[in-house]
Amino acid sequence: MAHGWAGSNLSSGERARFLELRGLTTWNDHGADWNERGSEHAAEIMSWALGDQGTGINTPSIPDNSIEQLTAAYELLTGNPLPEVSGQLR
């Protein structure tokens, strides 16, 4: 679902800013490793922000996955602050 959201809601400029923030060079090049694709970072971050940010159990399996880094990326993707989720660790 997060892949669909990103595909429908992010402009090319927003994707470029996200890639820069995450230190990536490609959005969805299937020749690149999974963890080097911006589309996968976006999907992992959206899933974390909306479903698991509070537990600390399922931190996204992408590089640069501290709460601060994930929060900054979520806010860049959505233009909104990270939503409050019951049981948050932050």
The predicted model gives 1-19 an average pLDDT of: 94
pLDDT on residue 1: 85
The residue that leads in pLDDT, 89 or 74, is 74
- The span from the CA of 83 to the CA of 56, in Å, is 15
The 3-state DSSP class for residue 37 equals: strand
| Residue % of the chain over a pLDDT of 90 | 67
Residues 33 and 62: beta-carbon distance below 8 Å: no
Between 86 and 73, the higher pLDDT residue? 73
| Structure-block tokens of residue 16 | 């470029």
DSSP state of 36: G
Q: Please tell me the predicted confidence (pLDDT) of residue 37.
A: 97
* Residue 81, pLDDT score: 93
Instruction: Give every CB contact of residue 46 below 8 A, 6+ residues apart in sequence.
Output: 2, 5, 6, 74, 77
- What does pTM read for this prediction? 0.88
